[in-house]
Structure 1
Amino acid sequence: METIVFDIGETLIRDDRYWASWANWLGVPPHTLSALVGAAVVQGRDDADALSILRPDIDVNEASLARAAAGRGEHLDESDLYQDVRPALAELRTLGVRVVVAGNGTVRAGELLRALDLPADLVVTSDEWGVAKPDPEFFARVLEVSGATPQETLYVGDHPANDLFPAKSSGLTAAHIRRGAFGHWWADHPDVVDTADFRINALTELPALLNKSPTPPRPRALRAL
């Protein structure tokens, strides 16, 4: 692999703070919102649907703006990173791999991520690109910044529907990481097993995979999660 591109939420960044802050804003115990996020994941729904279960009339965009105006907007610091992020990304760059961070997120999230000074060649979010996963255009942009062929570009993410399936449909090599609610719950789903070129439990497994050729793709019909 010449380039490895990483998803953000629950691949590099823990979502604990994100959901706890929403629970605090909505005035519910964090475990209540966490349980509803888990239920949405199990049902194959967007995890943000948990917010509308709690508040059926919520406009998430408006609520996000209100939180920011109240000084309770997005925040990221070193404690939000999974512990294997810095060592894994640093080792990959030492090995000569181009490291890109590209996932769904706001412009503010992009600023916060870059402020962490990760060992990466590029850090960018979907709002900065103007297109979000799983739109194929997002993965076209990934290939634009990759500097490598689709086969030599590995996309790493936890979410089958947002990361794995569209990355493979766009011709990229793809790794599914068993991390976060989506990553754990769907890790052994037949479509995930059949589609992923690599299945990993930690980012530190990636350097050892660099010289391994993925299994040639098999004909398949991906079922919706």
Structure 2
Amino acid sequence: METIVFDIGETLVRDDRYWASWANWLGVPPHTLSALVGAAVTQGRDSADALRILRPGMDVREASLARAAAGRGEHLDETDLYPDVRPALAELRALGVRVVVAGNGTVRAGELLRALDLPADLVVTSDEWGVTKPDPAFFARVLEVSGAAPERTLYVGDHPADDLFPAKSSGLRAAHVRRGAYGHWWADHPDVVETADWRVDALTELPALVVEARDSTPVGRLRTGPSSA
């Protein structure tokens, strides 16, 4: 792999704060909203449907703007990162891999992520690009910034429908990470098992897989970690 591109939510960043802040805004216990998010995930629905169950007809984007106007908008700091993020990204860069962070998120999320000074060559969000996963145009932009051929570019994410399947359909290689609600629930689904080039339980597994792929001629279809069956 020459370039590895990372999703954001539940790949690099925990969603705990995100959902807790929504629960607070809606005036419901956090565990109530978490249960509804889990239900949406198991049904293969958008996790934001959990908000619409509590507030039918809610325009989530408009509600997000209202939260920001009230001084209760997005927040992100070091504690929101998964502990393997910095060591994994730093090791990949030491191996000469171009590291890109590109996932669904607001302009503000992009600003907050860049302020964390991650060991990455580029950090960008969907709102900054004006296109959202799983739109193929998003992955076309990924390839534009990759600087590598599709087969030498790996997209890493937790969400099958937003990350894994569209990345593969766009010609990239893809790794599914068992992390977060989508990552855990769908990890062993036959379509995920069949589609993913790699399946991992931690980002720190990636550097060794990069080395293994470089040593393989041709690069083989690899599986690793406890997620592999």
TM-score by length of 1: 0.95
- C-alpha separation in 1, matches of 2:62 and 2:141: 28
Superposition pairs of residues 60-209 of structure 1, within 5 angstroms: 60-209=60-209
- C-alpha separation in 1, matches of 2:196 and 2:121: 25
Q: Deviations over 1:58-97 (max 9, x none)?
A: 2211111110011100000000000000000000001100
Q: Which residue does the alignment assign to 1:215?
A: 221
Q: Deviations over 1:141-163 (max 9, x none)?
A: 00000000001000000000000
Which AA in structure 2 matches 1:75?
H
Report the CA distance between 1:214 and its aligned residue: 3.7
- C-alpha separation in 2, matches of 1:164 and 1:124: 19
Which AA in structure 1 matches 2:154?
L
Which AA in structure 2 matches 1:183?
G
- C-alpha separation in 2, matches of 1:60 and 1:148: 36
Q: Deviations over 1:108-167 (max 9, x none)?
A: 000000000000000000000000100000000000000000010000000000000000
Which AA in structure 2 matches 1:55?
R
Q: Which residue does the alignment assign to 2:57?
A: 57
Which AA in structure 2 matches 1:87?
P
Contact 1:37 1:48 in 2 (8 A): yes
Do residues 3 (structure 1) and 3 (structure 2) align?
yes
Q: Flag structure 1 segments of 5+ consecutive residues without an equivalent.
A: 217-225
Contact 1:88 1:203 in 2 (8 A): yes
- C-alpha separation in 2, matches of 1:138 and 1:167: 9
Contact 1:98 1:120 in 2 (8 A): yes
- C-alpha separation in 2, matches of 1:193 and 1:58: 35
SS at match of 1:57: coil
Which AA in structure 1 matches 2:51?
L
- C-alpha separation in 2, matches of 1:204 and 1:53: 37
SS at match of 2:108: helix
Q: Flag structure 2 segments of 5+ consecutive residues without an equivalent.
A: 214-218, 223-229
Q: Deviations over 1:166-225 (max 9, x none)?
A: 000000010000000000000000000000000000000000101323429xxxxxxxxx
Q: Which residue does the alignment assign to 1:17?
A: 17
Q: Which residue does the alignment assign to 1:219?
A: none
- C-alpha separation in 2, matches of 1:14 and 1:64: 18
Report the CA distance between 1:41 and its aligned residue: 0.1
RMSD: 0.9
Q: Give the 3 Å change call, closer, same or farther, for CA 214–9 of structure 1 in structure 2.
A: farther
Contact 1:103 1:124 in 2 (8 A): yes
Q: How many residues align?
A: 216
Report the CA distance between 1:57 and its aligned residue: 2.8
Q: Which residue does the alignment assign to 2:227?
A: none
